Structure 1
Amino acid sequence: QILSWKDIDELWSLAHFVGVTRPGHVLDGMGRKDVSLLEVPAMAISSTDCRARVAGNNPVWYLVPDGVVQYIAKYGLYAEGPDPRDVRTTETDEPASTE
């Protein structure tokens, strides 16, 4: 999906991209030789899935670091529900504090 990002040519000029291995996905075929490939321990976590979970008012606290959960809650990222800051942060799925 990275090749469909907005202003991708500018991003390529500003940063060096690293592709990370993930179970069930192949990194070759991107058409870019300037992408570094990095093998990491298998963790079946998808950023696309995390964003979809937030948009569906589902918790992501067990998928991403707490600081990321708090940042998403603070800025209302990815949410499509009535309260975009309603991101779950604890094992009991209590809404995050927005104060």
Structure 2
Amino acid sequence: MAVFTVDTDAIAAGSGSILTTVEQVRAVTAALNAQLAPLETAWTGASSVAFQEAKAQWNGLQAQIDHTLDGLGRSLGTVGHQYADAERSMAGMFR
């Protein structure tokens, strides 16, 4: 038999914190991309191509991180609500 406790308030706070951080990371990423954009046309040649490839790789990794953190935050929110709902439902059975 499984025995566990759940701090739904901590889960909800964690979810909110992660989602807030995701938005902050998105803002910083957008600012950094705005700073890097002019460099894409600042020169030509092999080093320019290498820079653009590195930036594309970074953008891809950043998108994966964004997607993963956003999913984690949203999943924690759902889990917290489901645990709280289940607890309320079970408590109601004894009233």
TM-score (normalizing by structure 1): 0.22
Higher share of residues assigned helix: 2
Higher share of residues assigned strand: 1
Greater relative contact order (CA < 8 Å, ≥ 6 in sequence): 2
TM-score (normalizing by structure 2): 0.23
